[in-house]
Amino acid sequence: MKPTRIGVIALAAAVGLYAIYTWVGLHGSAAPLGPDAATKAAASADATAPAVSVVKVAPADFVETVLITGSVIARDEVLIAPEVEGLRVLELLADEGQTVKKGQSLARLSDDSLQAQLAQNEANIARADAAIAVAQSAIVQAEAAAKEAANAFDRAKPLKQSGYVSGAIFDQREAAAGTAQAKLLAARDGITSATADRAALQAQGRDLKWKLGRTDVRSPVDGVISRRSARVGAVASSQTDPLFRIIARGEVELDAELPESDVGRVREGQAARVTVTGSGDVTGTVRLISSEVDRSTRLGKVKVFFGVNPALRLGAFGRGTIEIGKSRGLGVPPSAVVYGPQGATIQVVTGDRVKTRSVKIGLKTQSRLEVIEGLSDGDMIVAKSGSFLRDGDAVRAVVSEDKVTGVAR
């Protein structure tokens, strides 16, 4: 019986203590917290605030670029084709990669057939000269005969009136005068025809001499031979590949493509830096911007001029950038900017609180964005903004190693 009574007393004591603790939990302690307790409570609250990475805003140099890709081509390509058809290539005097001057001989064509045609033409001209001489003699004879017949007819007129000449004789002299005059006109037409034939032969001779002069194929410009299709013994023709292709003045450029969204941002004269396969980095300037965008690829074209550079090979692939803007301003990581209906915003940490600010973005690079308005030098901003933070939220700022300095490209 005694152990049972002790157990009941212990149980009653436990129930009493539980009731006391429950009342204290519901109504709180009657005594206020001291200074040490308040400090501990604030420290506990700070420890529960989320930690966020922040970066310090600082000035940086910005160079905004657009990506281009393309192939190296000649600035101006000159095609050298034969001006005389059907002649065989007799000799080649220049090869691919060779620098040539304007007027320099590149190849010689066979002129045997042209020489034979010229000799025949000269003989025909001599024959025409002889025909002209014969026609001139015929004119002299026809003029004399016409004069004699006209005189005889004039003498017959008064004699017919006086009755000394019969009508038959008068008619004969009249017909003779007309016939002599017709022969004179025919003789004059003959010399006109002979003179025209001689002029045609002379023109043919000039054409043959011109063709003979073109059997020596010469370069029309200073430049570099990029391709030679001519072969000794082959028949030269303008219907086949050109005998030579020349890079005028040796100037080359990049025939580049870029997205249509970037075409409008490129201007003539802007600097470009291109890495050409097998040749390394090359600098150039934008020479031409195409006014058309390809409908299927949605790409525009620009020409980047390199000038004279013997190290570049036609057709080589090039990849590079065009510098479309340069400035110095405040830089932030792209991840720090949030775009919404009201524009771009950045979350700034002041003390231990977050404040959202509207900003205006300037130049853009892969690693940095330029902020024109909304921030000040030295501001601490959330490195990776998002919807998990709102205005007034308490945070624990953790400074990131990322520094917004240097040149951003």
What per-residue confidence (pLDDT) applies to 46? 55
Q: Write down all domains in the chain, each with its CATH number in brackets.
A: 51-60+328-408 (2.40.420.20), 67-73+249-326 (2.40.30.170), 76-110+215-245 (2.40.50.100), 112-213 (1.10.287)
What per-residue confidence (pLDDT) applies to 401? 65
Radius of gyration of the chain (CA): 52
Query: What is the spatial distance between Cα 335 and Cα 119, in angstroms, rounded to a whole number?
Result: 86
Query: For the chain, which ranges sit under pLDDT 50?
Result: 1-10, 12-13, 15-34, 37-39, 41-42, 45, 404-406
Sign of CA dihedral 267, 272, 275, 278: positive
User: What angle do helix axes 167-213 and 112-162 make, rounded to 10 degrees?
Assistant: 160
What per-residue confidence (pLDDT) applies to 23? 40
- φ/ψ of 158, rounded to 5, equals -70, -35
Query: What burial class does residue 232 get, using C-beta atoms within 10 Å of its C-beta: 0-12 exposed, 13-18 middle, 19+ buried?
Result: exposed
Q: What is the pLDDT of residues 234-255, one digit of tens each?
A: 888 888 889 999 999 999 999 9
Query: Do residues 228 and 246 make contact, with C-beta atoms less than 8 angstroms apart?
Result: no
